[in-house]
Structure 1
Amino acid sequence: MVGQVARDLVLDVGRVPEPGGSTRIGRRIERLGGKGANQALGLHQLGLAVAIVGVVGTDHAGQDVLREAAAEGLDVSGVARRGKTALLVDVTGEDGRRLLEDVPTDALLDPADVERAAPLFAGAAAVSLQLQQPADALSVAARFAADAGARIVLDGAAGTDGVALLAAADLVRADAVEAAAWTGSAVRDRGDAADTTRYLLSRGPSIAAVTVPGEGDLVDWGTGTLFLPYGDTHVVDPTGGGDAFLAGLVAALAHGAAPGDAARAAARAAASTVAHLGGRPALEGRAT
């Protein structure tokens, strides 16, 4: 997993106060987070050995999240340390969710970080690239993954900077905003999503997954498609739903599932995650 490692602060506040107001916090959670770490945890919970290539600070928060990741069974030997650890504040209330992000520039990967982690790529069956990281670092990671013969997974969008990455990828997942960044066209409904997955598949990947806002996810593998509508799961916090979806999809494919079955496993993983507070997955024992 090549991506973000951060400190998550999750606050359940009931109702977010108006400017000048205040409110009590009903529940507070502080722990390992960030898209890369959450995806890595989900993959590990679903039976895969996972190493993270990312950056944390030299501060106490960095030490804490590294210790937590290692205790969860993740290989953190590829995590660089410098500066301050990224902080993500997830504020959830009755009127929706807000995400506050403090991601210092030095909390992002650079090519040298990936070069130092080169041995981790040698035996990898799959390498997932979180596209919010700088393109030059991701290009190095993609090269190492290709040299290892690994399945290359893209999460997010990189626009024109990501054309070469898309051509090298086997699988790409994007939410509606990210999908629009790839194509320049909004995803409003299933038809738009189908147009987007066809566009993505025509440029390299063999599997593409795109979110339809408020409806569900479309997975397209060229010879077939499957739309996975959101069920009746009560959404406590949408944070991490996409990360869990990706983890479920990649893990199921790694375990030999057909694309349609992998898509269903991905939807189950996402539904499990949005049913609780915070983006950290809890997928142990779930079918793939």
Structure 2
Amino acid sequence: MDEIVVMGQIARDLVLVVDEVPGAGGTAPVRQRREMLGGKGANIAVGLAQLGAPVRLVGVVGDDAVGERLLARAAADGIGTEAVVRRPGCATGLIVDLVADGWRYLEDLPDELLLTESDVSEDVFARAGAVVLQLQQPPEVALRAARAARGRVVLDGAPRRWRDELLAGADVVRADHREAELLSGRKIESADDALRAARAVMAHGPGFVAFAVDDVGNVFTWDDGELVVPLGDVEVVDTTGGGDAFVAALTFALCRGDGPEEAAGLAVKASGDTVTRPGGRPDLHGLTGR
């Protein structure tokens, strides 16, 4: 398999599991604490590496000790980090995931941690067999990467600008419920609504679209087919990282030549496994579907 390049967010993840979130002036003991390499881009890259794909990460960390530790962790995970920018004078991003009755995020992700066009080497994307563009990054940077890519282009999310141009350069699009409505310009209240919205997005260029639909599951469309996968019967502990594992597995499966239905099944399986644990870091070792 050719190298897969992932462009996206990198951060230190601090996961705290508590029985309940205290009110103002209150205190609650932490039942479980995990610290790890996180951020949506890093999570996708970790999942791909665990599945056995050669992967390179493009993103930004600070020039601090935390950034250094995260890059060392990524390298230990088998991820190429040569294209990660160390931003002078900037602290590495922090995401606190508070898991109790559901989850809550506290984020310290300043704009300095976003990629700029001058940070991006087009050669990195041109040499890749596939490029995953996590659209929390500025859309003009994602568009430059998409135009430089020669392999498969996977979009994750919905851009604030340049929607039509990005969709025209994409082969695969994945979005959650809110992002799917933004991408399609349609209200989604059922699986049928989602399938129609996905077809509308496909009209702009992509050949494969996957939408997560609240209270329904995942819907998939491709040129000559479609599939609805209902929500699985799993005990959801923390939805953080479920979408990232989904994107990693879907990309991996398509790149190794799986058909649409097989790729969809692996993606749903990876996501379902990830949400049964606190934190966004996946554990997809052995989850190859073969």
- State the TM-score, normalized to the length of structure 1: 0.95
Contact 1:159 1:182 in 2 (8 A): no
Per-residue deviation, 1:214: 2.4
In the TM superposition, what whole-angstrom CA distance separates every residue of 1:54-93 from its partner, at most 9, and x where no partner exists? 0000111111100100111000000001111111111110
Gaps of 5+ in 1: none
Gaps of 5+ in 2: 1-5
Task: Point out the more displaced range, 204-213 or 179-188.
Answer: 179-188
Give 1:150-189 correspondences, 5 Å limit. 150-189=151-190
Contact 1:241 1:274 in 2 (8 A): yes
Per-residue deviation, 1:126: 0.4
In the TM superposition, what whole-angstrom CA distance separates every residue of 1:81-120 from its partner, at most 9, and x where no partner exists? 1111111111110x211111111111000001113xx332
Q: CA RMSD in A?
A: 1.1
Contact 2:123 2:148 in 1 (8 A): no
Give 1:73-88 correspondences, 5 Å limit. 73-82=78-87, 83-88=90-95
Per-residue deviation, 1:160: 4.0
Say if 2:41 is the partner of 1:36.
yes
Query: Which residue number corresponds to residue 136 of structure 1?
Result: 140
Say if 2:256 is the partner of 1:234.
no
What stretches of structure 1 move > 4 A for 4+ residues in a row?
none
Query: Which residue number corresponds to residue 26 of structure 1?
Result: 31
In the TM superposition, what whole-angstrom CA distance separates every residue of 1:5-38 from its partner, at most 9, and x where no partner exists? 1110111011111222221111111110000000
**SS state of the match for residue 78, structure 1?**
coil
Tell me, in whole angstroms, the C-alpha distance in 2 between the residues paired with 1:121 and 1:203. 22
Query: Which residue number corresponds to residue 109 of structure 1?
Result: 115
Per-residue deviation, 1:43: 1.1
Aligned positions, number: 282
Give 1:184-223 correspondences, 5 Å limit. 184-223=185-224
Amino acid at match of 2:249: G
- The correspondence for 1:96, drawn from 94, 102, 114, is 102
Tell me, in whole angstroms, the C-alpha distance in 1 between the residues paired with 2:128 and 2:137. 20
Tell me, in whole angstroms, the C-alpha distance in 2 between the residues paired with 1:60 and 1:39. 23
Amino acid at match of 1:55: V
In the TM superposition, what whole-angstrom CA distance separates every residue of 1:186-224 from its partner, at most 9, and x where no partner exists? 322212211211111111000000011022100111211
Amino acid at match of 1:65: L
**SS state of the match for residue 26, structure 1?**
strand
- The correspondence for 1:121, drawn from 102, 125, 148, is 125
**SS state of the match for residue 229, structure 2?**
strand
Amino acid at match of 1:63: E
Say if 2:16 is the partner of 1:15.
no
Tell me, in whole angstroms, the C-alpha distance in 1 between the residues paired with 2:127 and 2:179. 30
In the TM superposition, what whole-angstrom CA distance separates every residue of 1:127-171 from its partner, at most 9, and x where no partner exists? 0001110112112211221xxx21010000014422201111000
Task: Point out the more displaced range, 209-218 or 33-42.
Answer: 209-218
Contact 1:193 1:210 in 2 (8 A): yes
Contact 1:159 1:181 in 2 (8 A): no
Query: Which residue number corresponds to residue 60 of structure 1?
Result: 65
Query: Which residue number corresponds to residue 248 of structure 1?
Result: 249
Task: Point out the more displaced range, 214-223 or 277-286.
Answer: 214-223
Per-residue deviation, 1:228: 1.2
Amino acid at match of 2:92: T
Amino acid at match of 2:28: T
